[in-house]
Structure 1
Amino acid sequence: MIDTYWRCVALTPERITITNRKRRPSGRYFFVRRPSMLSLYDAAALRNALTLPLRVGLKSLLEKRIAQIFADGLEDLTHTIVLCPGDTEAALKAEILFSPLEREGRRWGDPGFETWWDWLHDHGGWFELIYCVGNSGFAFVLFVEDADSDGLADLLAMCRASGRGEGVGGGGD
């Protein structure tokens, strides 16, 4: 029998690995890499993100956006999420309590659905969506890697259909 999964996080300056550990019937362990979104929900997390060993394209996007967030004094009013292939809409919804694909009982692709982001931009390899919440200045900033992903197929289709341009405002609002 395979023992229960548990999460193992190995943090080293060279890499970050988030895995689930399983015990084989032989008693040896093996690791299965599980995708994990990057969730930056406060000033400390944003600062820490700049020290992570991220791919060059993503790191430069985050450096620019995080610098802007701090310059505008919004570091404690911004929740930034980085989604990569393997992440799922369900995991995103669990993290931020809404899905970009749903609005007022309608889902993207349904007749009458209107997108509702405040900003969508195609950075070439990454989509950036910004959702402002209320009048306090709070916003969710989502970076979605433009790479095939079963768990994010609808979100990518929506971004690809809408985001080929210099920056696109939201739907009907």
Structure 2
Amino acid sequence: MLSLTNRAAVEAAINNAALDPALRDLLALRARQLEDDTEPDVELGDLAHFHVVEPGDGMEEVNESLGFAVDVNFVDERRFDDPAFVGSWEWIEHHGGWFELAFVLTDEGYGEILLVPDRPDTNPRLLALCRDHLTTA
């Protein structure tokens, strides 16, 4: 997992030529949007943390990085395998080979953003969760 918890870490990822260009573009877009909507002296890490799934990461690594189980509902604790499961995210969107899951955790709007590559080497359970619950317009 690549965890980006402040502006410097996000900037380093955006400028890292070894990372997928679509990922770098998405990070830059979200960072710009968050900063455009807040006061200039607010640190990006106080608004959101970004977590990027890397090859070999499973649900355990994802859940540990986020600090909660992405495949369990916050309210009723139903698991992803349960037909009545409803995810705790605000949205799941697909962007050029990446899924974005947004979790808003406070009334002030602080959130955790999970970025999941839509590739065959990504954890199949995580891909199924993203594909099965993709937010439609």
TM interval, shorter chain, is: 0.7 to 0.9
How large is the RMSD of aligned CA atoms in angstroms? 1.9
Normalising by structure 2, what TM-score? 0.83
Q: Which has the higher contact order (CA 8 A, sep 6+)?
A: 2
Unaligned runs of 5+ in 1: 1-36, 167-173
Aligned amino acid, residue 67 of structure 2: L
The structure with more helix, counted as a fraction of residues: 2
Structure 1 residue 66, shift from structure 2 partner: 1.5
Aligned amino acid, residue 56 of structure 1: P
Partner of 1:141: 113
* Distance (Å, rounded) in 2 between the aligned partners of 1:135 and 1:45: 25
Aligned amino acid, residue 65 of structure 1: R
Unaligned runs of 5+ in 2: none
Q: Tell me how many residue pairs correspond in the alignment.
A: 129
Percent identity (aligned) = 35
2:38 is equivalent to residue 44 of structure 1: no
Contact 1:39–1:80 (8 Å) recurs in 2: yes
- Larger gyration radius, structure 1 or structure 2: 1
Contact 2:94–2:134 (8 Å) recurs in 1: yes
Partner of 1:102: 72
Displaced runs of 4 or more, over 3 A: none
Normalising by structure 1, what TM-score? 0.67
Partner of 1:77: 47
The structure with more strand, counted as a fraction of residues: 1
